[in-house]
């Protein structure tokens, strides 16, 4: 395989902390990045705007949730609410005439501020109780957004999002919108990659693993939980704003309801807690699976000549999709990211399996 | 001592420290003074309050009565993470390493109080965090070299043997460059050879890194071998203190440890 090499030998500490010490990994990242930037030329615009674009945005979202769930180990069932806050704040800010670049930062900051205010109360409890109180954030936000006409534009209303403008230039082409999502996804990914090798990331893992041992080495658990909540809320808020700006083009409360929170949670769990590449896999899996299941079942129905009622057809993919998530949790709790790592570790030294990395 | 004292006066003073859990008096009027550069032994039967005293010093169970002074400063009732920044490090009786991280990252976490973790620094690693990370990485390498952990540097802590885990935990504590180090049974479950290694590391840590050590141990050969002074506890009260050879010979200490019949002889 391409991975094979004799060993990793560093001569200075900066190289020891490099993101991708293995040359084959650097090649792979380079090729993926090149493909990412060339995609509008290579992929037809239907696939670009209905598969690649939402995949990148949801990956950024899943990474933000992974920060709080996978790194800091705090449950968050209200992530869609945070995304919704960012989306509504950005839409209102752009409608008020604020440039879009500033508006998304405002949206992210609003989400972070509300997230941190909420975290102050919620972080007094741990584990399942925290999960329940974050669920409360979801329902409170749902209610506030739909019941305050100043935010939602009235009951059952759809608020039209103004076109994205970067430096005054409106961005309306599929390629342009795709690049916005791509750049945001790369920014979030690079932040998460850096989190793996900085004091902040280590402190978050310390808080997740053993809070008493974290305290004894000088880590203030409560402070770092707040940092994790606010950073993840910022990423969520901006992601929500970009999702509206590039994909939905209009905002309604249902786009950020509780099932969207669960969906984001499923992306992180299926992808792998604390795994960056896993968030990419998880987002793809959750976005593609219902559709893929649908086509598979209709194909099988025709191929093997059985007929299913419309209702069964509608519910079967949901059931299979649920079963797959349960299967993952039972068989590989660390998700697709872990499966990828296992394969990679095997190929790294193949065929000399007894050699250590 | 082989090194120059940073400042005069004792490193740690406990003044009639008392800690109760409901009706149980876990610590009853403990007076203890640890001088700079000492290795101070703390012994006693199981449940006598050794670990509670440690937890009182590190802020997990602040004493209800009495005062604790570190380098002359009152630290009674301060939060554990804040006490850590004042130069107190400790290891745990039942290991408290962070699973899922490499040995290297665990020891780097020991440098936490010397680093400046932040969101902006993480986002702009190449410009803001790299110098800090590199300097601390070098400091960690010193500790790895000191404790001879080069071979397991990149292993996950989950998978290494317990003797090494104890050494990694000592490394994490030393990486913080503490002035006062508490070792809670660092040799529990070790064989003779590992014990001798650990005893050597503790002596070296004192001599080369200028750490004052509070050592909790059940192995009396270790206590008499490396400790300068010691304190024996029983049922939360002090039953003997002074030079190890004298304390260990004290009939009350022998009685507490192995029963009255032997003490009578």
Which residues in chain B touch residue A220, judged by CB atoms under 8 angstroms apart?
79, 81-82
Chain B nearest CA to A29, separation (Å): 18
Domain span at residue A87? 42-349
What value does the mean pLDDT take over residues A307-311? 78
**Residues of chain B found within 8 Å of residue A67, distances taken between Cβ atoms:** none
- Coil, helix or strand for A339? helix
Residue of B nearest to A234 (CA): B119
Report strand pairing: B88-91 vs B180-184.
parallel
How far is the C-alpha of A124 from the C-alpha of A129, rounded, in Å? Answer: 9
Asked whether A213 and A207 are in contact (CB, 8 A), the reply is: no
Q: Is A3 part of a structural domain of the chain? A: no
Structure tokens at A142: 């749902």
Selecting from A209, A218, A227 the residue whose C-beta is nearest the C-beta of B98 gives: A209
Note whether residue A33 is domain-resident.
Answer: no
Q: What is the arithmetic mean of pLDDT over A274-294?
A: 90
Q: Give the span between the Cα atoms of A275 and A267, in whole angstroms.
A: 11
In 3-state terms, what secondary structure has residue A250?
Answer: strand
Q: How many CB atoms neighbour CB A51 within 10 A? A: 15
A216 touches chain B (CB under 8 A): yes
What pLDDT, on the 0 to 100 scale, is given for residue A5? 63
Residue-wise DSSP of A285-297: HHHHHHHHHHHHH
Is A22 within the bounds of a domain? Answer: no
DSSP labels, A191-222: HHHHHTTSHHHHHHHHHHH-HHHHHHTT--HH
Q: Searching chain B, which residue's CA lies closest to the CA of residue A199?
A: B117
**Contacts with B22 (C-beta within 8 Å, 6 or more apart), sequence order:** none
Answer whether B81 sits within 8 Å of A218, measured CB to CB.
Answer: yes
Contacts of A221 in chain B (CB under 8 A): 81
- Subunit contact B96:A198, Cβ cutoff 8 A: no
Tally Cβ neighbours within 10 Å of residue B232. Answer: 27
Tell me whether residue A261 is in a domain.
yes
Alpha-carbon distance B184 to nearest alpha carbon in chain A (angstroms): 13
Closest CA to B63 of B48, B73, B78: B78
- Per-residue pLDDT band at A3 (split at 50, 70, 90): low
Picking from A200, A209, A224, the nearest residue to B99 by CB comes out as: A209
Give the helix/strand (H/E) hosting A126.
Answer: none
Identify all chain B residues contacting A16, using CB atoms and an 8 Å cutoff: 137
User: What ipTM does this complex have?
Assistant: 0.88
Is A216 in Cβ contact with B96 (below 8 Å)? yes
* Chain B residues touching A203 at Cβ < 8 A: 109, 112, 117
Reported confidence tier of residue B1, pLDDT bands at 50, 70, 90: very low
Domain of residue A149, CATH code? 1.10.3470
Domain total for chain A? 1
- Cβ distance A274 to B100 less than 8 Å, yes or no, reads yes
| Nearest residue on chain A to B99, alpha-carbon basis | A209
Calpha distance A255→A262 (Å, rounded)? 12
Chain A from 98 to 137: CB within 8 A of any B CB: none
pLDDT tens-digit profile of A259-273? Answer: 899 889 989 989 999
Determine the residue among B109, B130, B154 to mutate to test chain A binding: the one whose Cβ has the most chain A Cβ atoms within 10 Å. Answer: B109
Looking at chain B from residue 111 to 170, which residues have their Cβ under 8 Å from any Cβ of chain A?
111-113, 115-119, 121-123, 125, 129-130, 132-134, 136-138, 141, 154
Q: How far apart are CA A88 and CA B11, in angstroms?
A: 57
- Do residue A202 and residue B138 have CB atoms under 8 angstroms apart? no
Give me the residue from B90, B117, B130 closest to A14, CB to CB: B130
User: What's the pLDDT tens digit per position in B53-74?
Assistant: 999 999 999 999 999 999 989 9
Residue A108 lies in a domain: yes
B9-87+178-265 belongs to CATH 3.30.70.360: no
Look at residue B259 and give its three-state secondary structure: coil
Is A15 among the domain residues? no
> CA A55, CA A294: separation in Å to the nearest integer?
19
Residue B77 pLDDT exceeds 80 = yes
Share of chain B above pLDDT 90, in %: 70
Chain A interface includes B98 (CB < 8 A): yes
Between residues A86 and A5, which one has the greater pLDDT? A86
A13 touches chain B (CB under 8 A): yes
pLDDT digits (tens, 9 = 90+) for A17-61: 888 888 888 899 999 999 999 999 999 988 999 999 999 999 999
Whether A5 is in a domain gets the answer no
Stretch (H or E) spanning A323 = helix A310-331
Residue A310 is predicted with a pLDDT of: 77
Cα atoms in the Cβ-side hemisphere of radius 13 Å centred on A266: 20
Cα-Cα end-to-end distance for chain B: 38
Distance from CA of B215 to the nearest CA of A (A): 17
The domain segmentation of chain B, as residue ranges, is 9-87+178-265, 100-177
Asked whether the beta carbons of B199 and B168 are under 8 A apart, the reply is no
Query: What are the φ and ψ backbone dihedral angles of A91, each rounded to 5 degrees?
Result: -60, -45
């Amino acid at each position: 395989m391409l991975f094979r090499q004799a060993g990793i030998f560093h001569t200075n500490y900066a190289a020891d902390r490099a993101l991708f010490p293995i040359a084959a990994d650097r090649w792979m990242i380079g090729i993926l990045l090149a493909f990412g930037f060339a995609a509008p030329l290579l992929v037809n615009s239907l696939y670009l705007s209905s598969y690649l674009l939402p995949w990148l945005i949801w990956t950024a979202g899943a990474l933000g949730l992974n920060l709080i769930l996978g790194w800091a180990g705090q449950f968050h069932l209200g992530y869609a609410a945070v995304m919704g806050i960012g989306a509504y704040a950005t839409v209102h800010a752009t409608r008020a005439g604020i440039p879009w670049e500033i508006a998304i930062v405002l949206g992210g900051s609003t989400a972070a501020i509300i997230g941190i205010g909420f975290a102050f109360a919620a972080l007094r409890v741990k584990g399942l109780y925290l999960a329940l109180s974050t669920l409360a954030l979801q329902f409170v936000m749902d209610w506030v957004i739909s019941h305050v006409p100043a935010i939602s534009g009235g009951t059952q209303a759809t608020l039209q999002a103004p076109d994205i403008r970067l430096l005054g230039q409106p961005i309306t082409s599929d390629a342009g919108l795709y690049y916005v999502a791509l750049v945001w996804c790369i920014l979030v990914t690079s932040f998460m990659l850096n989190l793996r090798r900085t004091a902040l990331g280590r402190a978050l893992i310390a808080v997740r693993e053993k809070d008493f041992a974290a305290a004894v080495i000088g880590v203030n658990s409560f402070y770092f939980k707040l940092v994790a909540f606010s950073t993840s809320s910022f990423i969520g808020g901006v992601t929500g704003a970009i999702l509206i700006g590039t994909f939905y083009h209009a905002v309604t409360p249902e786009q950020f309801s509780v099932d969207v929170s669960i969906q984001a949670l499923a992306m992180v769990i299926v992808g792998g807690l604390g795994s960056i590449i896993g968030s990419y896999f998880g987002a793809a899996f959750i976005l593609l699976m219902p559709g893929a299941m649908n086509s598979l079942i209709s194909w099988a129905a025709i191929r093997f000549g059985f007929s299913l009622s419309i209702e069964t057809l509608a519910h079967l993919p949901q059931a299979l999709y649920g079963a797959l998530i349960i299967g993952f949790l039972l068989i590989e709790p660390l998700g697709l990211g872990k499966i990828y790592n296992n394969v990679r570790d095997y190929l790294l030294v193949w065929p000399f399996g007894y050699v250590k990395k | 001592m082989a090194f120059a004292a940073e400042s005069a006066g004792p490193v740690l003073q406990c003044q009639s420290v008392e800690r109760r859990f409901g009706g149980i008096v876990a610590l009853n009027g403990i007076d203890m003074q640890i001088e700079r550069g000492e290795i101070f032994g703390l012994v006693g039967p199981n449940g006598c309050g050794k670990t509670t005293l440690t937890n009182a010093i590190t802020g997990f169970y602040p004493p209800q009565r009495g005062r604790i002074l570190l380098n002359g400063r009152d630290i009674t009732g301060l939060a554990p993470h804040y006490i850590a920044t004042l130069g107190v490090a400790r290891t745990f009786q039942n290991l408290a390493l962070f699973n899922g991280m490499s040995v290297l990252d665990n020891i780097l976490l020991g440098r936490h109080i010397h680093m400046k973790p932040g969101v902006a620094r993480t986002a702009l690693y190449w410009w803001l965090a790299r110098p800090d990370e590199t300097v601390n990485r070098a400091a960690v390498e010193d500790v790895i070299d000191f404790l001879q952990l080069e071979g397991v540097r990149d292993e996950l802590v989950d998978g290494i043997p317990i003797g090494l885990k104890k050494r990694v935990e000592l490394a994490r504590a030393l990486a913080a460059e503490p002035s006062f180090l508490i070792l809670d049974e660092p040799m529990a479950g070790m064989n003779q050879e590992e014990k001798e290694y650990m005893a050597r590391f503790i002596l070296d840590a004192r001599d080369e890194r200028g750490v004052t050590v509070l050592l909790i141990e059940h192995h009396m050969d270790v206590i008499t071998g490396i400790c300068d002074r010691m304190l024996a506890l029983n049922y939360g009260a002090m039953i003997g203190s002074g030079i190890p050879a004298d304390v260990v010979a004290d009939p009350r200490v022998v009685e507490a440890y192995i029963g009255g019949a032997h003490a009578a002889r």
